[in-house]
Amino acid sequence: MMSSDSEQSEDLVLITRDATQHQESSRASFASSVFNIMHAIMGSGILGLAYAMASTGIIVFSLLLLLVAFLAAYSVHLLLELCGQTERTSYEDLGFCAFKTTGKVMVAGAIFIQNIGEFLGYTSGLSIVFMVYFAIVVIVKKWFIPCPLFNGTMNYVQNFNSDECKPKLLQISTKSAYAIPIMAFSFLCHTSVLPIYCELRRPSKSRMQKAVNIGITLSFSVYMLSALFGYLTFYGKVDSQLLHSYSQYLPRDTLIMSVRICILFSVLLTVPLIHFPARKAIMLLFFSNRPFKWSHHIAVTLAIQALIVLLAMYVPNIQNIFGVVGSTTSTALLFIYPGLFYLQISREPLKSLKKLQALGLLILGFLIGAISLPVIIITWLHSENVA
């Protein structure tokens, strides 16, 4: 009898060990987690970075892009710390821990608006390939497009001021207000970090932070190359949507057409992916206390699609999407909420180094929004009046 019990105990240990190994093997590897982080980061923001460089100059742009990348990594660090302290695995749940239903609604609302803006970008599984290909095409085309390109009517210019083809190292104007919002829009991955963390094989905060750091560094490299060579191709005449500049000058170019086809397929693949978090946020905001109904599900889906179509019709200039979304929801999700939630949830003394850093991140986020958004709105309204 004892022998039978012993054999059963050994079988149970083997079954448990096999189940644990199977569960562990089904989790994401470190490399795939880095890939997923890059997938979450890289999107349509890449189209506006050359415009941001033209608006600030090469030196200022490079410093700002490096700063935003560093702060994005640090704010993820705060979220991972809170994840360990609260055992919550989503951004919305951290908001609930901090401010109950109000915090959850704050995060859900920001995610909904952010996802509507990302719908213009590439978030399919092929997005990283498309981004790298885009950057390569931008670098190659720099050597085949002469400067200057055109005047206001897009005609090639024979007599021109040579200063038009000199890169600006420092450049400050009202258009500079778009720079940090575009960068914040471009580096936002925070809504995806915690789910990716939960799927990581042998999960730990240090291991996940390393994956985030590598993902942000690789994304920074692609962003920097595409922005630099895009700017050095068109200089001050670069469009807020970089592909428009190429299409105006090279409407039938094979490489440019191939990039546009990649974007087309990417956007088509984006539809089911982007509807899920946006619809989830809306359902949380308006139907959280009600049972699931297909009528609500279908109505919210159609409403999101209608809103996207209206945005495409009445907001033709993508810089306005980058500017407004970047200075509000992107800034909130990247800077404000991580700092605010850490101050509210963490039990460390207020004067501790980490809480002071979180406070600095919070204040910086408010300043970016308070300074950038009014300038962007005024510039937008002024351009509409002039048109």
Let me know: does 73 contact 350? Beta carbons within 8 Å.
Answer: no
Instruction: Report the candidate in 281, 313, 283 with the shortest Cα–Cα distance to residue 298.
Output: 283
**Overall average pLDDT of the 180-190 stretch:** 90
187-219: pLDDT as tens digits: 988 888 888 888 888 888 899 999 999 999 999
Angstrom distance (rounded) from CA 153 to CA 155: 6
Query: In the 8-state DSSP scheme, what is residue 238?
Result: -
Q: 128 pLDDT exceeds 80?
A: no
Q: Side chain identity at 74, as an amino acid letter? A: Y
pLDDT of residue 230: 92
30-45: pLDDT as tens digits: 888 888 888 778 777 8
Q: Side chain identity at 182, as an amino acid letter? A: I
How does 336-345 read in b/e, with b if 16+ C-beta sit within 10 Å?
bbbbbbbbeb
The residue whose two tokens read 């200022």 is 60
- In DSSP terms, which residues pair with 28 in a beta bridge? 200
DSSP 252-298: T-HHHHHHHHHHHHHHHHHHHHHHHHHHHHHHHHHHTTS---HHHHH
Q: Is the dihedral of CA 196, 198, 199, 204 positive or negative?
A: positive
Banded pLDDT at 387 (limits 50, 70, 90): low
325-364: pLDDT as tens digits: 889 999 999 999 999 999 999 989 988 999 999 999 999 9
- Give the distance between the most distant pair of CA atoms in the chain: 101
Q: 121 pLDDT exceeds 70?
A: no
Distances (CA, A) of 141 to 48, 223, 237, 243, 345: 17, 16, 16, 12, 50
pLDDT of residue 245: 84
Residue 350 main-chain phi, psi, to 5 deg? -60, -30
Q: Hey, how many other C-beta atoms are within 10 angstroms of the C-beta on 124?
A: 21
Let me know: does 24 contact 201? Beta carbons within 8 Å.
Answer: yes
- In DSSP terms, which residues pair with 341 in a beta bridge? none
Q: Side chain identity at 47, as an amino acid letter? A: L
Let me know: does 162 contact 148? Beta carbons within 8 Å.
Answer: no
pLDDT of residue 312: 62
Instruction: Report the candidate in 125, 129, 118, 128 with the shortest Cα–Cα distance to residue 275.
Output: 118
Let me know: does 253 contact 233? Beta carbons within 8 Å.
Answer: no
**Overall average pLDDT of the 316-327 stretch:** 79
Angstrom distance (rounded) from CA 341 to CA 361: 11
Let me know: does 54 contact 238? Beta carbons within 8 Å.
Answer: yes
Q: Side chain identity at 163, as an amino acid letter? A: D
Give domain 27-386's CATH superfamily.
Answer: Amino acid/polyamine transporter I (1.20.1740.10)
Residue-averaged pLDDT of the chain: 80
**Overall average pLDDT of the 302-325 stretch:** 74
H or E element: which one contains 132? helix 127-141
